[in-house]
Structure 1
Amino acid sequence: MNKIKEFVIDYELIKKFDINALQKSLILPIYEDDVYSYCAVCKKSDITFAKKCFFNLTSFINIKEEEVLFYLSDFDTRYELYLLYKKSLENLKENSQNHIDKFFKLLLEFSIEKRASDIHIETNEKHLFIRFRIDGKLKHIISFELVFYKVISSIIKLKAKLDITQYRKALDGRINEKLNENSYDFRVSILPTISGESIVLRILDNKSIKKDLKYLEFSKSIYNSLSNISNLTQGLVLVCGPTGSGKTTTLYSILKSFDLDNKKIITVEDPVEYKLDGITQINVNDKLDVSFSSVLKNILRQDPDIIFIGEIRDKLSLQIAIQASLTGHLVLSTIHSNSALNSISRLLDLNSQSYLLSSTLKSIFYQRLVLKVCPDCGFKGCKNCNYTKYQGRTAICEHIKIDEKMSSLIAKNSSNCEYKTYLDSKDYEDIYFDAKNKVKKGLTTLDEVYKVLGFEDEI
C-alpha cells in the first residue's frame, strides 16, 4: 500500500527548500507542526541532510525511491493545486467558485499533460485522493483533507449539469472543457460509497483520431493482415481482448483506411470514443430511447456498406452482425475473450448457428497492450515516465484468418484441440511469438509480457 497517500503533503513547506537539493538527497518534506517535522525517505536518502534542514525530525515515513522523486516532480503544478485547494476552503463562506474553478481546470490540464485516460477522485474516513490512470495503471497523484470532497464534488456536478444535492444515487454526465486550445470531453460517473462518493472522469479527446495503422507499431505480418481488411466487401471481422486492450483504437484505424467518400459507414457505440469525419456515428443513450438493441434493429435500413458495432455483447448484437454480413455488408466489432481461438467459442456460446458463423467470419485479431521501455531514460526512471521506467504502451497481437479449412472446422463445431492441430500445422504465430519479438527489439521486457499474459507454460 502507498503510505504517502494517507498524508496531505504541504507543498508550501517544500517550496522553502531547493527542489534540486531535495531530489539529490531523496528527501520528501510532508508537513510540520509546532513541535515536529515529518519527512518521507527511502533507503538511499541522505538522512544527515534532512536533520540539518528540519527541526525535531525524530521519525520518518519509509517509501520507495521512485515515489520520493515522483512527488517532488511537476512541483509548480502540485504547488498551484495545493494553494488553490487551501484558498477554496478559506473562501467557502464567501460562496466563491473562482478558486475551485481554477483548481478543477488545472487538474484537468495536469491529467492531459500526464497522458491520463481517467481521473479517479475517491475518499475514505479522513482524506480525499486523486489518482490518474496512466498507461493502464492507476497512479496516486495528490491527497487532500476530506472537507474538500464536497467542494470538488459540487463543481463537477455543476459542470456536468447534475443535481449537486444528490449524494445517494449513481449519476452520469458529461463535461466539455477547452484546455490549451484543444477541446476535450470528459465522461463523468459518480457512485455513492460508505465514505462519500467515487467520481471517475474518463478523458475523451474531442479531436479526430490521428493514428493510422502504420503508427500503431504492429508487427509487419499483423499490420499487413489489418491493412487487408479494407479489401473486404462483406463478412465479420473481430478484434478481441479484455477491456482497455486498445480494440477500439485498432478498429478506428482500420476505418480510416477505407474510401470514406464512397462508403456509407455507421458506428454504434456506448459511448463514441473518437470522432471521425465522413462516417455516421451513433451514441447509445438508453435515457433517450436510443438503446443498443433498437439501433441495431434499424441499422440496415440506413443502407450502410460498413457497420462498426462497439461490442458483440449478447445474442441480439451477434444476430444482427451475422445477418448484416450475410446480406453483403462488412461488419467490424469487438468481443471479450482471452485468445483469438477462444472468441470462436464465445460466439457459439451466444447461440450462434455454427454454419452461419463459418460463412460470415473472416478474421479474428486478439490483442493486448504492454508497457514500453521509456525512451528518455533507458530504463533508469525519469520525470517523463513518472519514475516507472516505462512510458506509453504498444500492442502485441495474434491473427487467425478464417480460410476454407477453419471455416469447415467452425461449421462442424470442432473442438479446440482440432483447431490447434490445424493451426500448428500452419506454424501459427501466437501472441507470445509477437511479444517476444518486441522484447528482442527492446520495446518492452519479458517481465512486462508475463505480467500481462502470464507464463506461456501455464496457459
Structure 2
Amino acid sequence: MDKSKFIDLENIKIDIEVIRSIPEKIAVDNSIIAFKEEEGELYIAVSSELKQSVIEKLKFITNKRLKLFYADKFKIANLINTYYCKYSVQMALENTRSGRNSNVLKSEIKSVQYSENMNDVPIVKTVNYIINAAICKQASDIHIEPFESYVVVRFRIDGIMHEFIKIPRDIYSHLSTRIKIMSGINITEKRMPQDGKIQYMYNKDKYDFRVSTLPVFFGEKIVIRILHRSDKLNNLKLLGFKDNDINIIHSMVNRPCGLILITGPTGSGKTTTVYSILNSMNKNKINITSIEDPVEYMIENVNQVNVNLKLGFNFPKGLRSILRQDPDVIMVGEIRDEETAKIAIRAAITGHLVISTLHTNGALESISRLLDMGVKDYFIRDALIGVISQRLIRKICPYCKKEYSPLLTEREELKVNDGLKLYKGTGCLRCENTGYKDRSVVYEIVDFKGIKKNIGDKFEWCNFRNKFKSIDDYCKDLIKSGVTTYEEFLKLKF
C-alpha cells in the first residue's frame, strides 16, 4: 500500500453503519476502522500493513472492494472505543446480569487464572472494554466506585475526573473479582486494602497497571493506575522542556557527583521527569541503580530496586545496600524522612550522583525542607547541584481553540497590551467538552553554583527569586503563545 495515502480521521464525518460493516473483533485485533462507503468501495483506515489473509477475509465479510489508507493508530483506537466499546460494555453487562455464564465465572474464580480463552465471557469482556476505553482516552487512572444502588466508573484524563459509565450494583462483585484475578489479589479478602499488578496488551502495545483496592462503606473501591512506556519517557522536549533548559539539565546530570532534586506536589510529573533524565544518560558507561516505591517503569540497563516495607526493607536500608554495589548514579524515588535525606546527601558528597524527588512547592523551598529534616547547611552546600520544580498544566484543545480579547484583570496580570489576543477551547467531542487536551510541564530550574554560599539556617529563598525564571513566569509565556489558558495559571496559585 502506498504510504502517501494518509488520512486524518479527525476531520472526517463517519457513518456509524459503515463502521459496523467490520466486526468488532477484526477491527480491534488489526487496528482498523471503516470510515466511508462509495460506489461499492469500502474505505478503511489502517495503522500498519495488513496481511493478505486479513484483506481477503474483509472482502468476503463486507462483499465490497477495499480502499486502504494509513491513519494514526491512536485515532483509530479512539474511534473503535467510541463506536464499538461503549455499546459492547452495555451488551456485556446485560449478558452478565442474565446469568447465562455464571458457571464459567465460577470456574474462573476457582482457577484464579487469567487466560486468553476466557476473553469471550461477558464479565471478562466488560473489564477489557473499560480498560481499552481508558487507554483510548489516554486516561492515567481508572476509578471504580461502589455506591448504594450503582457503581460509577470514572477516568482521570489530564488530571480531571470524567464519568465513563454506571454499572448495576448486582454485578459489581463479579467485576471486582475479575480485576482481582487479573492483578493477583486475594479475591476473598474484602476488609483490608490490597495492591496488585497487571500486565496488559492493547493494540500491540504493552501496559503495566498498578491496582489498589480500598474498603469503603458500600464495598471495595478499585483504582487502576495506567503506566504506558511512551516516547515522552525518552525525551524531555516532549514533556515541555525548552532546549536551553534541557542543556542546563544535561550539564547538571553530567557532573560526576552531587545531588539533583525534582520537586513538586503529588501528580506533578516528577517521576516521569526523573525517568526521562535517566534515559538521557549513557547507561553503557556507568552503573545506575534506583530504589523506588514502587518501580513504575522498567528502564533498560538500570538496576531498579523495590522497597518492601512489610519486610522492613525501606529507603534507608536500600540506600545503604546500594552504596555497597559500586554505583555511579543513584536514583532515590523520594526523600521522605531525615534518615533518607542524610544518607542521600552523604552519598552525593562521597562521589556519587544522586537524583531524587522531594515534596515542595518551589525549587528554593527544597533547601528549607532539607534543613527542616535536620540536614546540616554545610552538607547541603557541598552536595546540592540543582533543583527542578514543576507542575502540570492542561493544554488548549487544538480542535476547538478560539481566540478572545482578555479581560482587564488578565491583561494586568500578564502585563500585555490591549491588542493581544488570548485563546480558549470551546469544548468538543475530542476533548470531552473540556476545552483542553493533553498536558505540558511548567517548571523552574535553579543551578545552585551561584548561591551555595548563601545556604544556611536562616536561608531566605525569597531573596533569590529574581535570579531565575519562575513557574509563574513560564506559565504566562505559555498563555501568551496560545498553549494554555489564564484559568490554568490561576490554579498554580493554590
Same fold (TM over 0.5): yes
Q: Please give the alpha-carbon distance, in whole angstroms, between the structure 2 residues aligned to 1:194 and 1:326.
A: 50
Q: Please give the alpha-carbon distance, in whole angstroms, between the structure 2 residues aligned to 1:19 and 1:93.
A: 30
Mapping of 1:4-403 within 5 angstroms? 74-91=82-99, 94-97=102-105, 98-205=121-228, 210-287=233-310, 290-378=313-401, 379-403=425-449
Q: Please give the alpha-carbon distance, in whole angstroms, between the structure 2 residues aligned to 1:174 and 1:281.
A: 17
Q: Does 1:421 align with 2:421?
A: no
Change (3 A) 1:250 1:93: closer
Q: Is the 8 A contact 2:213 2:220 kept in 1?
A: yes
Deviation at 1:387, TM superposition (A): 1.4
Please say which of residues 299-308 and 377-386 is displaced more in the overlay: 377-386
Deviations along 1:243-289, whole A, 9 cap, x unmatched? 11011111111112211110100111111122111111112233455
The secondary structure found in structure 2 opposite 1:352 is coil
Which residue type is aligned with residue 134 of structure 1? I
Q: Please give the alpha-carbon distance, in whole angstroms, between the structure 1 residues aligned to 2:223 and 2:181.
A: 15
Q: Is the 8 A contact 2:394 2:488 kept in 1?
A: yes
Which residue type is aligned with residue 82 of structure 1? Q
Please say which of residues 359-368 and 86-95 is displaced more in the overlay: 86-95
Report the counterpart of residue 15 of structure 1 in structure 2: none
Deviation at 1:214, TM superposition (A): 2.4
The secondary structure found in structure 1 opposite 2:122 is helix
Report the counterpart of residue 470 of structure 2 in structure 1: 430
Report the counterpart of residue 3 of structure 1 in structure 2: none
Deviation at 1:190, TM superposition (A): 0.6
Report the counterpart of residue 445 of structure 1 in structure 2: 485
Q: How big is the alpha-carbon RMSD for the aligned residues of Structure 1 and Structure 2?
A: 2.1
Which residue type is aligned with residue 491 of structure 2? K
Q: Is the 8 A contact 2:260 2:386 kept in 1?
A: yes
Q: Please give the alpha-carbon distance, in whole angstroms, between the structure 1 residues aligned to 2:250 and 2:151.
A: 47
Q: Is the 8 A contact 1:222 1:397 kept in 2?
A: no
Q: Is the 8 A contact 2:237 2:243 kept in 1?
A: no
Q: Is the 8 A contact 2:393 2:484 kept in 1?
A: yes
Which residue type is aligned with residue 426 of structure 2? K
Q: Please give the alpha-carbon distance, in whole angstroms, between the structure 2 residues aligned to 1:393 and 1:159.
A: 30
Q: Does 1:409 align with 2:454?
A: yes
Deviations along 1:329-369, whole A, 9 cap, x unmatched? 00000000111121111111111111111110110111000
Change (3 A) 1:289 1:179: farther
Change (3 A) 1:217 1:206: closer
Q: Please give the alpha-carbon distance, in whole angstroms, between the structure 2 residues aligned to 1:343 and 1:211.
A: 26
Which residue type is aligned with residue 306 of structure 1? V
Provide structure 2 residue ranges, at least 5 long, that are not aligned to the other structure.
1-14, 18-80, 106-120, 402-424
Q: TM-score, normalised by structure 2?
A: 0.73
Q: How many residues align?
A: 380
Q: Is the 8 A contact 2:269 2:390 kept in 1?
A: yes
Deviation at 1:93, TM superposition (A): 6.6
Q: Please give the alpha-carbon distance, in whole angstroms, between the structure 2 residues aligned to 1:181 and 1:289.
A: 38
Change (3 A) 1:75 1:300: same
Deviations along 1:86-131, whole A, 9 cap, x unmatched? 1111126732341111111111111111101111000111110000
The secondary structure found in structure 1 opposite 2:454 is helix
Change (3 A) 1:415 1:103: same
Q: Please give the alpha-carbon distance, in whole angstroms, between the structure 1 residues aligned to 2:83 and 2:428.
A: 14
Q: Is the 8 A contact 1:128 1:148 kept in 2?
A: no
Deviations along 1:148-189, whole A, 9 cap, x unmatched? 211111111112222222211111111222222222221111
Q: Please give the alpha-carbon distance, in whole angstroms, between the structure 1 residues aligned to 2:239 and 2:439.
A: 10
Please say which of residues 390-399 and 162-171 is displaced more in the overlay: 162-171
The secondary structure found in structure 2 opposite 1:322 is helix
Report the counterpart of residue 62 of structure 2 in structure 1: none
Deviations along 1:378-400, whole A, 9 cap, x unmatched? 22322221111100000111122
Q: Please give the alpha-carbon distance, in whole angstroms, between the structure 2 residues aligned to 1:377 and 1:91.
A: 44
Which residue type is aligned with residue 154 of structure 2? R
Q: Which has the higher contact order (CA 8 A, sep 6+)?
A: 1
Q: Sequence identity, in percent?
A: 39
